[in-house]
Amino acid sequence: MNSHEKQENLLNEAYNYLSYLESQEEGNVFRKASEKSLKKVWDNKEDDIYNTFAANASNNFTLKSYLKQ
Q: How many residues does the chain have?
A: 69
Assign 49 a pLDDT band (cuts: 50, 70, 90).
Answer: confident
Greater confidence (24 vs 2) lies with 2
Higher per-residue pLDDT: 62 or 2: 2
- Domain holding 30, by residue range, is 3-67
Beta strands in 1-69 (DSSP E): none
Q: Are 17 and 27 in contact (CB under 8 A)?
A: no
Q: Which amino acid is at 25?
A: E
Percent of the chain exceeding pLDDT 90 equals 1
Residue 61 in contact with residue 53, Cβ under 8 Å?
Answer: yes
Q: Which amino acid is at 30?
A: F
Domain count, the chain: 1
Q: Looking at residue 25, what is its pLDDT?
A: 79
Alpha carbons 23 and 68: distance in angstroms, whole number = 47
